[in-house]
Amino acid sequence: MAERYFLAGIHFITKALADVDYPISKAQLIAKVGSREVQMDWDKKQTMKQLIEPLKVDKFETAAHLFYALVAGL
């Protein structure tokens, strides 16, 4: 049987970031959305803080900038 893939992680991240205005610093972003949980796999949720903290960027100029950094970190 083929393994089932969970493809909705990016969808849930997008929803969690819907009310963010840019540019925004990493610290401001964590303060605003850090406690929001996103479903990243069938049985795995993570907070936005867990996804954002490891990023090596301190300021996000646009939503695209943030999404590129997040996807590269997944």
The per-residue pLDDT for range 2-52, each reduced to its tens digit, is: 566 667 888 999 999 999 999 999 999 999 999 999 998 888 999 999 999
CB neighbour list of residue 1: distance below 8 Å, 6 or more residues apart: none
Enter the pTM of the model. Answer: 0.86
d(CA 16, CA 32): 10
64: pLDDT strictly greater than 60: yes
Q: Are 71 and 35 in contact (CB under 8 A)?
A: no
Rg (CA), the chain: 13
1: pLDDT strictly greater than 60: no
> What is the per-residue pLDDT for 68?
94
> What is the per-residue pLDDT for 7?
77
